[in-house]
Structure 1
Amino acid sequence: MHTGMHPVDADLVRRLVARQFPRWAQLPVERFPSGGTVNGMYRLGAEMVVRLPLVRGAVADVTLEREWLPRLAGLLPTSVPEVLGAGEPADGYPWPWSVYRWLAGENPEPGALRAPERLAEDLAGFVAAMRGVELSGAPKAHRGGPLSALDASTRSAIEELRAIPEEGVDCDAAIAVWEDGLRADAGRDEPPVWLHADLMPGNVLVDEAGRLTAVIDFGCVGLGDPACDLFPAWNLLPAGARRTFRDALDVDDAAWARGRARTLSQALIALPYYRETNRAMTTNARHVLAAVQAEEDA
């Protein structure tokens, strides 16, 4: 998916675990398939999972989670990853890595949610709790800065998609939504809040009833624009549940425009980039584009 990816396989993970955590050396190791883009996931026995960066750019996420997850866990209404072991470079693997407690659940599938309204309420509760966190020394969120910082990459992605007519993207409509967000962002005066900053369906776990059980992957966590955590409105929830989510968080028009533009930007950039390498990312990108267009047409 990216240049500079370090090769990782189950044999390497077994060696790393055996060397650094011998008490777990006899547990089976099995690759866990996911739509993630910068980390490899390997089940370690029945109760744990090993997560290793695949690219240098993901390395800072490891230390960020080690520092902040223990402090955030007791402040949030749902389960979050628990670091059980802090692995270090060895056996030719160049970066830190972690062992986490396995969290049960499955990723929700947009368009096939079992309880969309209840999930919308659950997600709003999580976002509200994040916004209410008051921990000192917070980092800046990986996302959540000014929308203008994404302007060049967003417009470049739109032009790439113009050259792929089979994707059927209404590029002029995308530009209009993006520019609405830019205008809303120019007048933003809300203070930054704590964000998860990567609320993709792949980072959400639900139970058999479709209720939220956990939120994972806190590698983007930090302070930023509150609108950044509105992503599920378009990347996961159908129209009715989208309204429930918005009402529960009391989102005004300007913040909604910023959140829609941020979610659209992420989808526009992901679609041409991952088109040949990551089906989960491109499937969700297409879902976002359709959801944004439908909302505009309503």
Structure 2
Amino acid sequence: MASSGTDNAMFRLGDDLVVRMPRIHWASGGVDHEAHWLPLVAGRLPVTVPRVVAVGEPTPEYPWTWSVLTWVPGENPRLGELHEPAVLARDLAALLRAVRAMDLEGGVDRARPLAHRDAQVRDDIAALTDEIDTAAVTAIWEHALATAEWTGQRSWVHGDLAPGNLLLVDHRLTGLIDFASIGIGDPALDLGVAWNLLPPSARAVFREALEVDDVTWTRARAWALAQALVQLPYYRDTNPALAANARHVIREVTAEA
């Protein structure tokens, strides 16, 4: 399958299944993690999620764990081509409320302070001096470090709420895939979709629907920025789709600040 994903190669298997095979050794752990949690998540969210049909064991020919999943129908939303962005914003808010409300036990701890990413963010900014407003981006990041560090309670997070993992049918959010990063952490981690997909007007609808306070919004914006700053220099020459989305996020975050 054509995909902007970098960790796994995806292959259709008939009409109803998909094979997910890691491209790199560290992605194999995500297959095991997803295979454990997907059966527990099933039925708890207002969208369709994949069902694990089989898990393949490593062999000398292919040394990593891989999986067969049910195919989730739908199309990925595209930047600038959303039919009713405000409706999608409300759908996303409803999905995140359901994710946070899951009462599962034993989730992997995904909690990290913003300061944990500080050195990486500054290295990435330095690598992008020819492409971004480094002073503006640095100011946004430093403001978040100084005012928005997380001190709240952990909640369930999907961990990768990117356009490529969302599926729409008739312009409504109906599916969610890639649960390799699901765990317990800062709920702001899942708010990055506000900048990587939604236009400003729908972003406001999304924020209002989730009742996000100023400190959490500032921190969520910083997490989205940090992710984009990692992606852009790394994928600039190898993955045009991810690089384009990273540029978009940086523009949106800078314009909003």
User: Normalising TM by the smaller chain, what interval?
Assistant: over 0.9
Cα distance in 1 between the residues matched to 2:31 and 2:221: 29
Question: Where does structure 1 differ by over 4 angstroms across 4 or more consecutive aligned residues?
Answer: none
Cα distance in 1 between the residues matched to 2:180 and 2:195: 21
Partner in structure 2 of residue 191 of structure 1: 153
Report 1:152-231 matches (<5 A). Answer: 152-162=119-129, 165=130, 167=131, 169-186=132-149, 188-207=150-169, 209-231=170-192
Partner in structure 1 of residue 61 of structure 2: 92
Any idea what the Cα deviations from partners look like across 1:101-135, whole Å, max 9, x if unmatched? 11111111111111111110011111111111111
Cα distance in 2 between the residues matched to 1:109 and 1:206: 10
Letter in 1 for 2:80: G
- What's the TM-score, normalizing by structure 1? 0.84
Aligned-partner SS, 1:248: helix
Partner in structure 1 of residue 71 of structure 2: 102
Cα distance in 2 between the residues matched to 1:250 and 1:203: 24
CA-atom RMSD, angstroms? Answer: 1.1
Give the superposition deviation at 1:259. 0.3
Partner in structure 2 of residue 56 of structure 1: 25
- Among residues 123, 144, 147, which one is paired with 2:114 in the alignment? 147
Any idea what the Cα deviations from partners look like across 1:55-104, whole Å, max 9, x if unmatched? 11111111111111111111111111111111111351001100011111
Cα distance in 2 between the residues matched to 1:135 and 1:246: 26
Report 1:238-249 matches (<5 A). Answer: 238-249=199-210
Matched, 1:294 2:255: yes
Aligned-partner SS, 1:85: strand
Cα distance in 2 between the residues matched to 1:145 and 1:126: 23
Letter in 2 for 1:110: L
Asked if structure 2 preserves the Cα contact closer than 8 Å seen for 1:234 and 1:263, the reply is yes
Cα distance in 2 between the residues matched to 1:184 and 1:121: 28
Give the superposition deviation at 1:281. 0.6
Name stretches of at least 5 consecutive residues in structure 2 with no aligned partner.
none
Letter in 2 for 1:177: I
Report 1:19-34 matches (<5 A). Answer: 32-34=1-3
Matched, 1:275 2:236: yes
Bigger Rg, which one: 1
Asked if structure 2 preserves the Cα contact closer than 8 Å seen for 1:116 and 1:210, the reply is no
Aligned-partner SS, 2:226: helix
- Among residues 61, 66, 91, which one is paired with 2:35 in the alignment? 66
Letter in 2 for 1:128: R
- Among residues 213, 226, 236, which one is paired with 1:252 in the alignment? 213
Cα distance in 1 between the residues matched to 2:163 and 2:108: 24
Aligned-partner SS, 1:80: coil
- What's the TM-score, normalizing by structure 2? 0.97
Name stretches of at least 5 consecutive residues in structure 1 with no aligned partner.
1-31
Letter in 1 for 2:168: V
Asked if structure 2 preserves the Cα contact closer than 8 Å seen for 1:120 and 1:241, the reply is yes
- Aligned-pair identity (%): 49
Letter in 1 for 2:145: L
